[in-house]
Amino acid sequence: MQFRLVLRGALPPNKQGKANAKHRIRQELHPQLRVLWQQHPALAIKCRARPEAGETRPPVEDYADAYARCGFRFVPLVDLDTACALDILLLRRDQPNQLFFAGDIDGRVKTLLDGLRLPQQCSEVSGLSPTHDEDPFFVLMEDDRSIYEINVTTDRLLVPPEPNEPERDVVAVINVRTRSASGGSLLNIHDNYR
pLDDT value, residue 189? 42
* Nearest residue to 139 via CA among 9, 14, 37: 37
Identity at 153, one-letter amino acid code: T
pLDDT value, residue 11? 85
pLDDT value, residue 16? 54
pLDDT value, residue 113? 94
pLDDT value, residue 188? 44
d(CA 98, CA 132): 42
pLDDT value, residue 95? 66
pLDDT value, residue 97? 59
CA distances from 16 to 32, 51, 111, 187 (A): 26, 49, 9, 35
Q: pTM, whole model, 2 decimals?
A: 0.85
pLDDT value, residue 163? 86
Identity at 161, one-letter amino acid code: P
Q: Which portions of the chain are predicted below pLDDT 50?
A: 99-100, 102-103, 183-194
pLDDT tens-digit series, residues 37-61: 999 999 998 998 888 878 788 999 9
CA distances from 193 to 3, 5, 24, 87 (A): 9, 16, 29, 18
Give the helix/strand (H/E) hosting 42.
helix 41-44
